[in-house]
Structure 1
Amino acid sequence: MRNEYTWEIKATNTPLLIKKCSHCNNDRFYCSEKFRLNAQKKNVDVWLIYRCQKCDSTTNMTIFHRVKTSSINKKLYEQLSENESELAWKYAFSYEIKQKNNIEFDFKSVDYKICHDGITLEDILNSNIEIITFNIKYPFDFNLKLSSVIRTCLGISSKQLERLIEWEVISIQEQFLQRKRKVKNENVVKVDVGKLKNIIEQKN
């Protein structure tokens, strides 16, 4: 058994935009993954286009406002012009863009999958390793709780996780796991195997 693994969290859709539609009574818009550019002389405005889930009317999220075309990186400008979906996803999850537009996202609308090795607590208990490390890849932040990831990847119940927290078995960035902690990209989760074995001994 190795002492280091990777957990990769992949969002399968972008978060819905929470906004009242002016054409119907719906309040959720989905990201079209399309940009709108409006160049006037040497300045340009750039928006990411959202569409109402119900009536398909559009609303725009500002990416750039009255900026000089020459100040935008040439490659970035090409990506915007070509509606590159990866770039659209980056902005659709961006906290900075959210603040800039004074909007709210429905992060609960984001579906995701976690790629992991299926290492269980039993596997860990049967190892001779002192500390097992799990590196988290989480490129798009959607307010996911770290406890949910750990439960899924280790295949444990809420009650079991509570016990691991109580015994300070799991640490993140050199701090013991807290119940409400959210996932951040490049988080390093460490499981203290010695403490875990002590829990089992106490239980028996």
Structure 2
Amino acid sequence: MSIEYTWEVKAQNTPLLKKKCNHCDSERFHCSDKFRLNAQKKNIDIWLIYRCVKCHHRYNMTIFSRIRTESISKEMFNRLSENNVDLAWEYAFSRETRRKNNAEADLDSVEYEIQFDEVSVEEITSCEDEMLSFTIKCPFEFNLRLSTVIRTCLNLSASKLNQLIDTEAIFVHKRPLQKKHKVQNGDIIHVNREKLKNLVFNNEIHDEVVVK
């Protein structure tokens, strides 16, 4: 048995592209959230439009090249024609799309927020379950370390998190957490409640001693 919580990571923007502009000294382009479609007879080309962050010069990232129009569903065509933002973000975060275009993303440019319910000391100490369970919701991957999310949501210092990792108190998909692990949608994290309680409880006692 375990208590289950959900942590939701929400990207605030799409990643910039690392690309030198031919019209100014900029080396970054941002996604415009707009598509360009060009139909010729029974074939169609589709691009995702990027703009230079300084001079707004355009760069077209290829989504589909010379494909038959009938190979695209009506629903997909409508989303492309209407510049559907959700679809634009899917392609902007897509590693495969960047790979096909030989493009590199500045993933550090992605800002994000984490929505979570704070786990109180009372919940940790009163719960009788061996493990606390946390599920990650993060539709876009941008090299965010899972350890960063855990530190934020459990309000742990780097040293305390390292203690939990070193004692194998944190598991991801039933395997001990590795510091290099990057967040993926659907990650399931289990934290040993007793070891976490000892850390939190010791912190509480230390804080009371310092205050007194």
Which of the five TM-score ranges fits, normalised by the shorter chain? over 0.9
Q: What per-residue deviation string (whole Å, max 9, x for no partner) do you get for residues 79-124 of structure 1?
A: 0001000100000000110111111000100010001001156642
Counterpart CA distance in 2 for 1:16 and 1:201 is: 43
Q: Can you give the 5+ residue segments of structure 2 that lack an aligned partner in the other structure?
A: 206-212
Counterpart CA distance in 1 for 2:125 and 2:81 is: 53
Spell out the pairing of 1:139-154 with structure 2 (5 A cutoff).
139-154=139-154
Q: Decide which moves more: 115-124 or 131-140.
A: 115-124
Q: Does the C-alpha gap of structure 1 residues 34 and 60 become closer, same or farther in structure 2, counting only changes over 3 Å?
A: same
Q: Can you give the 5+ residue segments of structure 1 that lack an aligned partner in the other structure?
A: none
TM-score, normalised by the number of residues in structure 1: 0.94
Q: Decide which moves more: 147-156 or 118-127.
A: 118-127
Spell out the pairing of 1:139-178 with structure 2 (5 A cutoff).
139-178=139-178
Spell out the pairing of 1:187-202 with structure 2 (5 A cutoff).
187-197=187-197
Give SS of 2:144's match. Answer: coil
Coordinate RMSD, CA, aligned:
1.9
Counterpart CA distance in 2 for 1:35 and 1:109 is: 22
Structure 1 contact 7–135 (Cα < 8 Å) conserved: yes
Counterpart CA distance in 1 for 2:59 and 2:92 is: 13
Matched pairs, number = 203
Q: Does the C-alpha gap of structure 1 residues 197 and 85 become closer, same or farther in structure 2, counting only changes over 3 Å?
A: closer
Q: Does the C-alpha gap of structure 1 residues 88 and 201 become closer, same or farther in structure 2, counting only changes over 3 Å?
A: closer
Structure 2 contact 134–188 (Cα < 8 Å) conserved: yes
Counterpart CA distance in 2 for 1:182 and 1:96 is: 18
Structure 2 contact 20–27 (Cα < 8 Å) conserved: yes
Spell out the pairing of 1:1-204 with structure 2 (5 A cutoff).
3-120=3-120, 123-197=123-197
Identity of aligned residues (%): 53
TM-score, normalised by the number of residues in structure 2: 0.90
